[in-house]
Chain A
Amino acid sequence: MRVGLSFLIRLAVLLALATFLARPEWFASLLRPLTENGAPPVYVQASLLSLTISHLLMVFAATIASTLVAVGLAILVTRESGREFLPLSRSLVNIGQTFPPVAVLALAVPMLGFGTWPTLIALFLYGLLPIFENTLTGLTTLPGPVMEAARGTGMTGWQRLIKVELPLAFPLILGGIRLSIVISLATATIGSTVAARTLGEVIIAGLQSNNLAFILQGGVVVAALAVLIYDTLVFAERLAAQRTGLNRTA
């Protein structure tokens, strides 16, 4: 029954979120007590729905790029021929994580101008580490007898990777992608400081005009998206882990 209840709660959150994005004006009376001096309770400079879609697209685009690069790099450094590049790629990916996204934005704007691109690059760099480390863990902790059997049955290196290593590492890779997406969902909001179209726009507008209602609606929408996407991916990981029969998740 607990599974059913938690599912119902998530469904309710999803419905509330969808309603709010489609018809934010319905919530105006609810948000009005948070405003002062008759300020507008609902952000109307841009449609919340289109901001959300643009926010999500940016996060997904950056995560797809991070996934391709991080998984590719992890595969490369776990091959016999690429082993010596492991320390180098670890440092590179770590730099991506330690560099504050705000600093990436500040450095990227002079080169790429205002708008979407600086944010995409910051999200891409920031998303590399969890995916890379999880993929690395997945590929280096495969059960010894299984790998021995893969070689012993006469699979080539490529066949071992495609047929055995990646399928068995998949739940862990998915775990890395999940962490990366959730971090990016939050981080994308600061992209609006350099004119990227994200839900950060609403929060920044709220901060500038001292409008708590704006800050709250921007923040809550991002938080709800993060929770829903996180839970969906956890569910997908469980399914994938069951399918591999190994029961390893991040």
Chain B
Amino acid sequence: MIEIDAISKAYGDVTVVDNVSMTIDAGSITVIVGTSGSGKTTLLRMINRLVEPTRGTIRIDGEDNGAIAPHELRRRIGYAIQGHGLFPHRTVAENIATVPKLLGWPQDRIDARVEELLKLFQLDPVAFGPRFPHELSGGQSQRVGVARALAAEPNLLLMDEPFGALDPVIRAKAQDDLLAIQKHFGTTIILVTHDMEEAFGLADRIAVMDGGRLLQYATPTEMLANPATDFVASLIGTAERPFRLLALNPVEKAMEPGVAEGEPISGEASQRDALAELLWSGRPALPVTGKDGIVAGRVTVDSLLKQARPA
């Protein structure tokens, strides 16, 4: 659990983070969104003390992060940034091994961990381990960057626009991978982005920042139903609201008994995908399959439309 307690950062007369308090549950994904200059990156960097706060405290699992030596604190916290920041003079394997090496892990444990992570990120350890960063594509570099951040098995992973430099297709894949990896390790993730789509796609809770202040800190559904300010509403995008809401819930929640023609859709797919499929194929209903792959019911345009407004 991360407790951010009345934290502020000022550079001279300019306050970039203004009295922000929030509590982040262990094992959750929190996304901090805001325009550039909103203070979101500064807030993130105060957690691993790349920036020292002017006032306030941050506690990680009850321990004041100001009481831990900065370099030791950072070895415990994963950190992935935009443009990956891989060390260009070190191989992929050496890059991933950075923090375990600093922590003095035995070599065989390091090797095993590097191999495990490369496999997890769908990079063949034999082919990619000895490569240098300039021999990787953008998507591969980004994966190695996240693997490096996770190498020392941190409970907490900070990510500063980690997918900012990726093209849309690879970006969507990277986001899916992140969700899978978060499930696998149960890591607490705090991610900064300016992309609302990304925030709604990943977050258990979203924190909206503007001018150094925390405007709203809520689950995506709450935020759609009750945006705290006009700014939050405009960030969500009025026209996007029904689709964002549909995207948050699985098809099975809108499923009703009955039969329908044609290709079925998985009950775990998002309601937005189901609606898109219905609209595009011109069908009135879709068969829905359960976890076992057997058709369990159907979903209709009407039932989906009912879900597209806050209850």
Segment 90-122 of A: residues with Cβ below 8 Å from B: none
Q: Which residue of A lies closest to B45 (CB)?
A: A152
Q: Does B102 contact A (CB under 8 A)?
A: yes
Q: Is B85 an interface residue (CB 8 A)?
A: yes
B67, chain A: closest CB distance, angstroms: 16
Q: Does B72 contact A (CB under 8 A)?
A: yes
Q: Which of B76-84, B122-130, B229-237, B251-259 contacts A (4 or more CB under 8 A)?
A: B76-84
CB proximity to A under 8 Å, residues B72-101 = 72-76, 79, 81-89, 98-99
Closest CB in chain A relative to B205 CB, distance in Å: 24
Which B residues lie within 8 Å of A156 (CB)? 71
Provide the residues of chain B in CB contact with A164, threshold 8 Å: 87, 89
B98 contacts which chain A residues (CB < 8 A)? 153
Q: Is the CB of B99 within 8 A of A153?
A: yes
Interface string of A8-38 (1 = CB under 8 A from B): 0000000000000000000000000000000
Q: Is the CB of B81 within 8 A of A149?
A: yes
Interface size (A, Cβ < 8 Å)? Answer: 22
Does any Cβ of B come within 8 Å of A168's Cβ? Answer: yes
Of A146, A147, A163, A243, the contact of B86 (CB 8 Å cutoff): A146
Q: Which residues of B contact A152 (CB under 8 A)?
A: 48, 50, 74, 79, 81, 85
User: In the bound complex, do residue B74 and residue A245 qualify as a contact, i.e. CB atoms below 8 Å apart?
Assistant: no
Q: Is A244 an interface residue (CB 8 A)?
A: yes
Inter-chain CA distance A146–B145, complex, in Å, is 11
In the complex, per-residue mask of B56-79: 1 if CB is within 8 Å of any chain A CB, else 0: 000000000000001111111001
Docked-complex contact A155 and B86, CB < 8 angstroms:
no
Chain B residues closer than 8 Å to A148, beta-carbon distance: 50, 81, 85
The distance from the CB of A163 to the nearest CB of chain B, in whole angstroms, is: 8
Known A145-B81, A148-B81, A245-B132; contact A154-B102, beta-carbon cutoff 8 A? yes
Which residues of A pack against B, CB within 8 Å? 143, 145-156, 159, 163-164, 167-168, 243-246
Which B residues have a C-beta under 8 Å from some C-beta of A? 48, 50, 70-76, 79, 81-89, 98-99, 102, 132-134, 145, 148
